[in-house]
Structure 1
Amino acid sequence: MRKLGLIGGLSWTSTARYYEIINKAVHRALGGQHSAPLLIDSLDFAEVARCATQQDWDCAAGQLIASARRLEQGGAGSILICANSMHRVYDQVQAEVGIPIIHIAEVVGDRMQADGIEKAALIGTRNVMTEKFYRQRLVAHGVSLLPADMELADRIDRIVYDELTLGKVSKESERYMKSELTDIAKEDVQAVVLACTELEMIVDVKANVLPIHDCTGIHAKAGVDFILG
């Protein structure tokens, strides 16, 4: 098996989910007492989020670059950035290390293309829903996306940063997301892209009226493919 590096702490709740998905998949593939050879560099999310809140993306990039370098020096052969929103600085980080960083939107786009998805709704935090860095990569895979719903983006920001990144799961937020997904299903779309690594804490990705492409699971499984070669 090859060693995979995770840039974690973005938030710790989603990093824990990556760890679980990757190890369960490796165990299913190899059986016995096998688990995944991982290096995890877990950042202080408060410091990274402060940069993002102030729109100081060079500050955020600097923290992720330092993390990626530590993972490379530690022997990782590839890296996952365990957050959708932090892929805004992907190009800057990738340019500073000599090992591949698996882009979350690329592997999600590949999966959607393989599934024949041409029209979808992208939901996540505000920067993921509204900025080009994420949307363009999905569009490049032949996926047409609904325009961003700003009210939904603002509510997801509050749910993610006030609740989910702190490990809090509320019934109110679960009901809200279920209602929103039911409304989205009435639109002319074939699927929903769940582009926030924490949202699966309150969304049942297997029990919805529309197929849901869960970016956390798809990204983590791409890391498993690297590990197993």
Structure 2
Amino acid sequence: MLGSRYTMTGTYFVDRLQDRYGLKVLVAEGEHEANVHNALYEELTKGIFRPETRVKFKAALESLASRGAEVIILGCTEFGMLIKAEDSPVPLIDTTIAHAEAAVEKALQSD
């Protein structure tokens, strides 16, 4: 999972995914965790999208896949503006898109 330092090192999302759905959750570690965290707060949230940051994110995606990740959650709104499906060796879940699709589905349900 790529997300903010809080979500990556905290237990809120990781525990929920493990406890509710039985998923083994991997998070970016070491230099990849630092790169994701720094990019999020120093660049992406300020509207800065650098090619070299994209390269670092792709390395984090590759690291997660090499550790056994079968799908990667882009856990912050800004990540989907930097990373695309073709950048990843495994499928991506962009939480911004997932939330938008769920909202539309909910809005179109007839009660």
Q: TM-score, normalised by structure 1?
A: 0.44
Mind listing any 5+ residue stretches in structure 1 that lack a counterpart? 1-121
Structure 1 partner of 2:46: 166
Tell me the distance in 2 between the aligned counterparts of 1:148 and 1:172.
Answer: 18
Partner of 2:75: 195
Distance 2:5 2:30 in 1: 8
Letter in 2 for 1:132: T
Taking the aligned partners of 1:190 and 1:210, their CA distance within structure 2 comes to 6
How far has the Cα of 1:159 moved from its partner?
0.7
Q: What is the CA–CA distance in structure 2 between the aligned matches of 1:153 and 1:125, rounded to whole Å?
A: 9
RMSD: 1.5
Following superposition, the deviation at residue 154 of structure 1 comes to 2.4
**Count, aligned residues:** 107
Equivalent residue letter for 2:77 = T
Report matched runs for 1:17-166 at 5 Å: 122-139=1-18, 140-146=20-26, 149-166=29-46
Computing the radius of gyration from Cα coordinates, the structure with the larger value is: 1
More strand per residue:
1
Partners of 2:81 and 2:103 lie apart in 1 by 20
**CA shift digits 1:20-43 (9 cap, x unpaired):** xxxxxxxxxxxxxxxxxxxxxxxx
Partners of 2:30 and 2:4 in 1: CA distance: 10
The structure 1 segments of at least 4 consecutive aligned residues displaced by more than 3 Å after TM superposition are none
2:103 alignment partner in structure 1:
223
In the TM superposition, residue 212 of structure 1 has moved relative to its aligned partner by 0.9
Deviation, structure 1 residue 133: 1.1
SS for the counterpart of 2:69 is coil
- For 2:99 and 2:80, the matched residues in 1 are separated by 13
Shift of 1:151: 3.1
Verify the 8 A CA contact 1:163 1:169 in the aligned structure 2. yes
How far 1:148 sits from its partner (Å)? 5.1
> One-letter code of the match for 1:202?
L
- 2:90 paired residue number: 210
